[in-house]
Amino acid sequence: MAYLIDTDIIIFALRGDKNVLTKFEENKNLPISISMITYAELIFGAKRSQNEQKNMIKVNHIRDIYAIEDLNEGVMEVFADVKAKMFKKDIRIEDMDLLIAATAIYNELTLVTNNTKHFENVPNLKLENWKK
């Protein structure tokens, strides 16, 4: 198994959440990555924080530890396919979150998030919650 870590789980880890940190430790020998979207969200959070420099050091450390999954043609095709299927069922999800989900699906990764209800209607998406 390999994991794609959502932004919220990274934030919980940075804040020292014991459950999340335990899960990272339990899975330290498995492939773990973040999406390009999560990377952008982390940069945004650091830049709007009161201590941009300190938080950018943390973001850069995360970038150095975990691979960043690119947005490529395959991810975009999954994104469009899933969005069209969900649209027909009148199910909406924000595009950035759907890009994260499409990244996980395309790369055959399990998405780790505390927002499982938010993602549960995305077809073919494997989910885990390390916060619980």
Q: What is the mean pLDDT of residues 44-55?
A: 96
The fold adopted by the segment(s) 3-128 is: Rossmann fold (3.40.50)
110 phi and psi, to 5 degrees? -90, 125
Distance separating alpha carbons of residues 15 and 22, to the nearest angstrom: 13
Tens-digit pLDDT profile for residues 104-125: 999 999 999 999 998 999 999 9
Interval 70-97: pLDDT, tens: 999 999 999 999 999 999 999 999 999 9
Q: Is the pTM of this model over 0.75?
A: yes
Q: Where are the domains of the chain?
A: 3-128
CA angle 28, 105, 122 (to 5 degrees): 115
All residues at 6 or more sequence positions from 17 whose CB lies less than 8 Å from its CB, including other chains? 131
In the block, tokens 């995305």 appear at: 122
Lookup: tokens for 105 = 């699906």
- Cα Rg for the chain, rounded, in angstroms? 15
Tell me the C-alpha distance between 73 and 32, whole Å: 22
